[in-house]
Structure 1
Amino acid sequence: MITWNYRVFREDDGDFIIREVFYDDDGAILGCTAHAVEPCGRSLEELTTSLADFQAALALPTLTLGDMPQPSMERPTAPRGCTLSSAEVRAKLGLHSEVASPKKAS
């Protein structure tokens, strides 16, 4: 299950912003939002919770975009020799290869 929290980032220009950071099951960082996020809520209670979550981010180590894992530029390759023709699929599933023609009314 992917989890997330808010984290403080130091930008290249020296500014500090908050981003959402996403983690895998082992707690390793998967990535972050491209842009800063802001506190929000549909009620004052939700806004209060959002602000508390932002406040919690201040207690965690500051990150930079350089701390984020870089996406792999390798293109996935399709397995070789694992493709079947439609006739082979029909045969494996026990389907007839002929399509029955509709009967004419007498």
Structure 2
Amino acid sequence: MEPLRLILLYVHLIGFALLLGGSITQYLTGTLRINSAMLWGAIVQVVTGIALSAPLRDGDEPPSAKLAVKAIIGLAIFAMAFFSRKREQVNRGHFLALVGLTLVNAAVAVFWK
């Protein structure tokens, strides 16, 4: 079970890299839009996040607050990327909020014990 968890964690980190790297690349071009790397990064993050959280719960054990916060932020990031993916340009605040939520989600994962 541990090798599977490590593989999922590795793919989860690749999703983070796609999401953050795609957004930085897009920001540097000057045109704020949702590129395919950002969209796929958000998809990978949500799918692997769900897969990583499933074995952590034992039947009657409720999900932790950290898991709930990460799920809400991850779904918000996905929704922001998915529903704006076809626009030629997104609002600067929308784009920066997506990047900010990505960084907050990583911070929750690292600092919340």
Shorter-chain TM-score: which interval?
A: under 0.3
RCO comparison, higher one (Cα < 8 Å, 6+): 2
Bigger strand share: 1
Bigger helix share: 2
Taking structure 2 as the reference length, the TM-score comes to 0.26
Taking structure 1 as the reference length, the TM-score comes to 0.28
Q: From the CA coordinates, give the structure whose radius of gyration is larger.
A: 1
